[in-house]
């Protein structure tokens, strides 16, 4: 049998060093490690919340883009002013599509209706065959612009040609409504938007 050459002092020193390391790590390192773990968990929660906000903003942007096209259609359906050039072009396009023609158009400011919607009164005559004029009226009814026909009178201008005189109202937005220039100008104040 061989005797161990270990010095009891070196064993005691080793135990003492292990004890000191344990105490130092317990007092200093473990709290620091715990603090770092808590900070990491908080940062991960913030990153998750930021990703959720980003996804929510992307969905909101998609929704707003969809609503933007609806608002654009609304501004075509109900312009802000009388919109005479576009109104004339629209009527002439409908007439050309239905093989009819419009010899004269008169546009004037109408009054507001009972719901306080502003109106533009349009009076015109359109010439063509009876079936083409019927298609013209159907196209007016299905047009994106809001038209309300007030009166129509039919006269024959020849054997195949019929003349139809129409008086109708085209709706438009009130003057204090959310204007297209306000919508396109991000520098305008929010008070101009909400009136």
pLDDT digit string (tens) for 53-62? 988 888 888 8
Q: What pLDDT, on a 0 to 100 scale, did the predictor assign at position 180?
A: 45
User: How many Å separate Cα 127 from the centre of its chain?
Assistant: 40
**Domain end call among 34, 60, 77:** 77
Q: Is residue 5 part of a domain?
A: no
Residues 124 and 107 in one domain: yes
Residues 73 and 88 in one domain: no
Q: Is residue 149 part of a domain?
A: yes
Q: Is residue 38 part of a domain?
A: yes
Query: Domain containing 64: what range?
Result: 13-77
Residue 46: how many CA atoms within 13 Å on its side-chain side? 6
Domain count, the chain: 2
pLDDT digit string (tens) for 11-49? 788 888 888 887 877 777 777 888 888 888 899 999 998
Q: Is residue 49 part of a domain?
A: yes
Q: What pLDDT, on a 0 to 100 scale, did the predictor assign at position 182?
A: 47
Q: Is the pLDDT of residue 177 over 60?
A: no
* Cα dist from 24 to 29, 34, 110, whole Å: 7, 15, 90
CATH of the domain at 137: 3.30.70.60
The closest alpha carbon to 101, from 127, 67, 135, 131, belongs to 127
Q: What share of the chain in percent tops pLDDT 90?
A: 12
Judge contact between 162 and 129, C-beta under 8 A: yes
Residues 140 and 105 in one domain: yes
Which helix (H) or strand (E) segment holds residue 130: the answer is helix 130-141
Q: What pLDDT, on a 0 to 100 scale, did the predictor assign at position 97?
A: 92
pLDDT digit string (tens) for 138-156? 888 887 777 788 888 988 8
Q: What pLDDT, on a 0 to 100 scale, did the predictor assign at position 135?
A: 92
Q: Is residue 188 part of a domain?
A: no
Q: Is residue 1 part of a domain?
A: no
Mean local confidence (pLDDT), 104-118: 76
Judge contact between 169 and 148, C-beta under 8 A: yes
* Cα dist from 187 to 69, 123, 176, 191, whole Å: 21, 40, 18, 12
Between 22-26, 159-163, 190-194, the lowest mean confidence (pLDDT) is in: 190-194
């Amino acid at each position: 049998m061989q005797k161990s050459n270990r010095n009891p002092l070196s064993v005691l020193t080793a135990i003492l060093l292990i004890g000191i390391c344990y105490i130092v790590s317990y007092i200093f390192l473990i709290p620091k490690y715990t603090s770092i773990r808590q900070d990491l968990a908080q940062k991960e929660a913030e990153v998750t919340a930021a990703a959720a906000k980003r996804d929510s903003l992307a969905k909101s942007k998609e929704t707003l883009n969809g609503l933007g096209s609806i608002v654009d259609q609304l501004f075509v359906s109900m312009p802000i002013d009388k919109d005479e050039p576009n109104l004339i072009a629209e009527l002439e396009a409908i007439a050309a599509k239905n093989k009819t023609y419009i010899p004269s158009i008169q546009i004037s400011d109408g009054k507001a209706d009972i719901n306080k919607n502003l109106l533009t009164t349009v009076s015109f005559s359109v010439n063509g065959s009876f079936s083409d004029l019927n298609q013209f009226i159907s196209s007016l009814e299905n047009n994106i612009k809001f038209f309300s026909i007030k009166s129509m009178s039919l006269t024959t201008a020849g054997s195949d040609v019929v003349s139809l005189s129409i008086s109708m109202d085209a709706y438009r937005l009130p003057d204090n409504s959310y204007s297209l220039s306000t919508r396109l100008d991000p520098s305008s104040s929010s008070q101009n938007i909400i009136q």
